[in-house]
Amino acid sequence: MNQVELINVSKSFDKQQDILNDINLSIKKGEFFVLVGPSGSGKSTLLRMIAGLEDITDGIIKINERAVNHLPPKDRNLSMVFQNYALYPHLTVEQNILFGLRAKKVNKQEQQKRLNETCQMMEISNLLKRKPKELSGGQRQRVALARSVVSEAPLCLMDEPLSNLDAKLRAHMRIEIKRLQKRLGLTMIYVTHDQVEAMTMGDRIMVLNNGRIQQVGDPITLYNKPANLFVASFIGSPKMNMGKAVFSDQHLIIEDDLHLPKESIKSAMISETKNITVGIRAEHILPAEDSGVTHELTVVNVEQLGNETLISFEIGKELWTAKWLGQWNVHTGDKLPVHISADNISFFDSNSGRLLEASSTEKEEVLAI
């Protein structure tokens, strides 16, 4: 069953430029659905339209198979967690959490029952008499989550709720929110600009850019088979290495620098395409000692992360990064033997940006999963 459905939804301000254009989307009951994209892509506007905080210009929004275009937020049976927490500064934690229940005139015994259960779950029972100014950022976030959870609304909308937290707390809260969503069986629509959050939290992800849907799918599909150059460059950390390529003298030449034998390209369609952009993931530029030397590249930067090493090379005008497990004794200026295989390369049409052929390795990984 679809909990939320958007049919040909568009949004424009002053009937001029479209902020969102022709959005068609179905979100299943109990799904953790992530909207991701750069700033200005329209993801927060879309969330606010689902919540009823923003009018739509065209199209239909359905919740539980019922059109809700005309309904105010209070009648849509949903809760929302904002980026800035939106706590009342003059109220205690307890009063903030129970504010919505009191407005709905839920009986006091039921209020107390929900409050106790939720606060135990969020580990904030000892904070109930404090005011928001006495709380840390992480505690405020948990209070905002508790206020949403205590409402027991089946649909929860979150607009970049972790962006104000430090990295360690953000990683912890990602796990807690995901556990909470599964435990309560909520349908969650979560907005973020952070693709790491999107990949680690979402059952499915929708990538937005300039108000248009670029791709919808599970995290592994978006990573292994990006629909276009934008998704390929946006999803993944570090991002996919890219370069313009041409066929010449029985070779695929990338950025006038890197040569691969033409016979290693299995697809005849690729060989006949004139304007090609290639992409290769950082983990697919391999140490030569594992697979044999195909190229020797000059190191321009090294990032030692402890459990892995990121090594950057100049390929023509582009900067490519390799990601190798473990700690490598590599320095800037070193000539490093590597293994780059055509099997690990994805091909895109440079004009349209669309994917022509995903890498063979990525297809095999999808099948293995």
pLDDT of residue 366: 43
Is 2-229 assigned to CATH 3.40.50.300? yes
For the chain, residues with pLDDT lower than 70 are: 15-16, 266-269, 271-273, 290, 361-369
pLDDT confidence of residue 2: 83
Predicted local confidence at residue 142, as pLDDT: 85
Contact status, residue 204 vs residue 245, Cβ threshold 8 Å: no
Q: Where are the domains of the chain?
A: 2-229, 238-368
Rg of the chain over all Cα atoms, to the nearest angstrom: 24
How many CB atoms sit inside 10 A of residue 352's CB?
11
pTM above 0.85, yes or no: yes
The predicted structure's pLDDT at residue 322: 96
pLDDT of res. 361:
59
Neighbouring residues of 230: CB distance < 8 A, sequence distance ≥ 6: 207, 209, 214, 353
Residue 33, phi then psi, degrees to nearest 5? -110, 125
Tokens 């424009």, residue? 12
Q: Quick one: pLDDT at residue 173?
A: 83
Q: Looking at the DSSP assignment, which residues form a beta bridge with residue 182?
A: none
Query: Environment class of residue 268 by beta-carbon count within 10 Å: exposed (0-12), middle (13-18) or buried (19+)?
Result: exposed
